[in-house]
A and B are shown apart, each in its own frame.
Chain A
Amino acid sequence: MLFWPGALPARRKTLLLNEKHKPWATGAILFTFFSSVGYGIYAGSALNGPTGGTLPGLIYGGLAYLMMFYCALLGVRRRLPAWSLGRMSGWLRGHIWIGLLTLPMVLFHGGFSVQGTLSTALIWLYGIVMVSGVLGLALQQALPRMMTHQIEMETIYEQIPHIIDQLRSEAEKLVEKACGPLDPEKRAKAEEAESNRFKSAEALRDFYERRIDGFITSERLPPEADLSIPARSHALFGHLRKLVPPEVQETVTKLEDICDERRQLELQIKLHHLLHGWLFLHTPLSLALLLLGATHALVSLVY
């Protein structure tokens, strides 16, 4: 059980690193082993020590660049989903393992030493790309399960604002049904007609206007807001139930559910940012790395 010892087979399938990675991992280990042996022989015999300018150094550097280039093609593959270029999961496995293999190649290329402005910039970029990639891999391994467990009302991330609008509309309709129109002018007219009916649910309207409406529609939930904290929210709604007549109790429950969904959406936003935020470093810097790496390779080969 190379990746998740003790994990159940059914759960393992949902993980990013599962048993399908075994061939890749084995290949990567073997490749690292043989290239390390090759490096040892080369470093031991190189008169001026191992450097990127020697033939073996250039081979290691060239391999590293080709591997990085392959890894970058994952982004292209994603934009061409209809093309028959192999399964996306296969590309992703290649991206992960070939990406990791660039590490020994880069170290062997420079002989475990970095000097010079461009080379130093390249190694920093490479370091950030690698660290962000490994971090992303770890997050991708853990967070999706967390989201499945904690966000039952999970939706498409980009649809969250749209869903929030719907939640607000749904909540408004519920409140208007119980308390009459929320618009003051319309409410005044309605109260004239059915004053007794709406008077009894005034506490609900007040609660909605003071707490729920702003809570649902706010762009980011303030963490210290009462409704942001499940226990406090539950207590507030419990108190509200005592203030409203029995015929409105179901409405209160539905509003509480809406607030709960809003909290879940907020959690989804946070987890999504965590799950994909590393890409803002990984992807752009990968392209910068490829560009500067190509310049480095070209200048080195010319001179």
Chain B
Amino acid sequence: MPRQRTTKAIAQRIELDYLKKSHPFRSAMFWSVVLAPILAALWLAAVWSSQGDRVFQSGPVSEKHALFADDCLQCHVPWEGTPDTKCLRCHTVEIHQPVERFTPSCVGCHFEHKDRSLLSKTSDRHCAQCHKDLKTTGGASEFDDSIVSFDSGHPQFDVIAENRSDPGSLALNHAAHMKPGLEGKDGKVTLRCESCHVADSSGGYMLPVSYEKHCKDCHPLELGMILPGEVVPHEEIQVVDGFVRGRLARLVAEKPELLQQAAGDGDGNSRRRRRRRGQSEPETAVTTDAWLKQQISGVEAILWKKGCGTCHDLVGKPELPLISPTKVPDRWFGHAFFAHKSHRALTCTACHTEAGTSKKSSDVLLAPIQTCLTCHSKTGGAQSACSQCHTYHRRPDVIRLEGTMGINPLRVGKWDEFDQSAPAEAPVTGP
């Protein structure tokens, strides 16, 4: 049974001045309250001395600007934030469109301190803030005015939407070339797309088809019976003409009997006809010039028609025509770029579905937007950001610092010295 005490009895046991005396609990609380902010300040000072201004940053500086991450003032102006002039000290860019109603600040799109990724990777929202309801200062826009993203509002590619033909003047039947077992230089061949279409060094675009590399083996420009084994170079038509003349001249020089044969109309059938009619053989040979004129005319007539004319458009005088420019487009997208390399897992015909069956060179074999959207959409899973195919600035960024600074001035940001020699300029207006 615990003993009972009255409140009075309990109170009498208390030291009335206990609050004036120190107590470990109160002392510990006092010192922890005093020391905690001091320790926090010391920690901050220590980290600041080791990390520099990075300690205050809300996130890592992007990869390309990491060199300047130790010094906020490289990009920031106190109480002003990050004005465009800071960016333009190094970068020279053009504004997007001369007729644009709104020009965002650099940091409006290129947002720093988010992560290490590239600043050029901007979200569709940046583009859509104008393009979802496009207005210009110069009347109607040449672009669709309600584009939100690639899978929302993006129009069909112009060349398909307008049902354009391939402007190229080269005659090519894809279907004929894709047949298996074609006659090749060394026997039967079955061509594949990459037999003729080869990507450039970046892997982005296909290089132009080259006669020498891709056509010659199967389509040699031979001169035929008169000059067996001689192959005409795939050059300008004047060069070909000179080549033919030179070869024939050498031939007649080596074989003058050809002149005699020509006088007798060296053609065997003609001689047989004369004999049947009782006519005698001509007495004298034709001159070299006459022979050459006759042979060049004959050979070139066949060459132009059966050789060059098989693929090229020939215009002008029939005896020495001009070859029309081929006008084969090297790019189909006027406002976008494309990377074949990124799509290398696919077969060519997965996107260029008609490449195996097209018979006319005027056929446009470009994939329509629906093909792209199969993957490049929210449901498709592949990236579909505007910046995947489009660039905002009208020409590539040029670093104004190129070749102007040493390592240390660059690292410690001796921008003022640089500025004196090349003052910052306002954005250049595009053409």
The residues of A with any CB-CB pair to B shorter than 8 Å are 47-49, 51-53, 115-119, 121, 125, 152-153, 155-159, 162-163, 166, 254, 257, 260-261, 276, 279-280, 283-285, 287-288, 290-292, 295-296, 299-303
Contacts and interface: CB of A to CB of B under 8 A. Distances in A.
B25 A303 contact: no
B36 A287 contact: yes
Nearest to A52: B58
Nearest to B57: A116
A125 B37 CA distance: 12
A267 to B, nearest CB: 13
Interface string B1-43: 1110100001001110011000101101100110111011101
B55 A291 contact: no
Contact of A280 (B29, B59, B108, B113): B29
B32 A153 contact: no
Given A117-B57, A118-B56, A158-B18, 11 more contacts: A47-B108, A116-B55, A117-B54, A118-B47, A118-B55, A119-B58, A261-B3, A283-B29, A287-B33, A288-B40, A295-B44
A260 B43 CA distance: 48
Contacts of B187: none
Nearest to A264: B2
The listed residue with most A CB atoms (<10 A of its CB), out of B23, B25, B72, B81, is B25
B78 A155 contact: no
B60 interface: yes
B324 interface: no
Contacts of B2: 152-153, 257, 260-261
Contact of B25 (A155, A157, A299): A157
Contact of B33 (A49, A115, A284, A296): A284
Interface in B95-148: 108-109, 111, 113-115, 123, 125-126, 129
Contact of B44 (A49, A285, A290, A292): A292
B362 to A, nearest CB: 44
Contacts of A47: 108-109, 123, 125-126, 129
A116 B32 contact: no
Contacts of A118: 44, 47, 55-56
A284 B29 CA distance: 8
Nearest to B47: A117
Contacts of A303: 56, 72, 76, 78, 81
B36 A155 contact: no
Ranked nearest first, the 5 interchain pairs of A and B with the lowest CB-CB distance are: A284-B36, A115-B59, A288-B40, A48-B111, A257-B3
A276 B81 CA distance: 45
Give chain B's interface secondary structure class: helix
Interface in B331-379: none
B51 interface: yes
B18 A156 contact: yes
Contacts of A288: 36-37, 39-40
A116 B15 contact: no
B327 to A, nearest CB: 42
B114 A285 contact: no
B340 to A, nearest CB: 32
Contacts, number: 117
A254 B1 CA distance: 10
B60 to A, nearest CB: 7
Contacts of B54: 116-117
21 contacts: A48-B111, A48-B123, A49-B114, A115-B60, A115-B115, A116-B56, A116-B59, A117-B56, A156-B18, A162-B13, A162-B18, A280-B28, A280-B29, A283-B29, A284-B32, A288-B36, A288-B37, A300-B56, A301-B79, A302-B78, A303-B76
A300 B125 CA distance: 25
Contacts of B78: 302-303
Contact of B13 (A121, A152, A163): A163
A121 B45 CA distance: 13
Contacts of A292: 40, 44
Contacts of B114: 48-49, 51, 115
A37 B138 CA distance: 39
Contacts of A280: 28-29, 32
B142 to A, nearest CB: 25
Nearest to B125: A47
A257 to B, nearest CB: 4
B272 to A, nearest CB: 89
Contacts of B47: 117-118
B26 A158 contact: yes
B108 A156 contact: no
A284 B35 contact: yes
A302 B79 contact: yes
Contacts of B19: 158
A156 B1 CA distance: 23
A29 B138 CA distance: 51
B160 to A, nearest CB: 32
A117 B51 contact: yes
B23 to A, nearest CB: 5
Contacts of B32: 280, 283-284
Contacts of A261: 2-3
A99 B29 CA distance: 21
B55 A155 contact: no
A243 to B, nearest CB: 21
The listed residue with most A CB atoms (<10 A of its CB), out of B26, B58, B125, B126, is B58
A107 to B, nearest CB: 15
A265 to B, nearest CB: 12
A52 B23 CA distance: 43
Contacts of B40: 125, 288, 291-292
A204 B39 CA distance: 55
A291 B41 contact: yes
Contacts of B58: 51-53, 115-116, 119, 300
A116 B36 CA distance: 21
Contacts of A302: 78-79
A117 B19 CA distance: 42
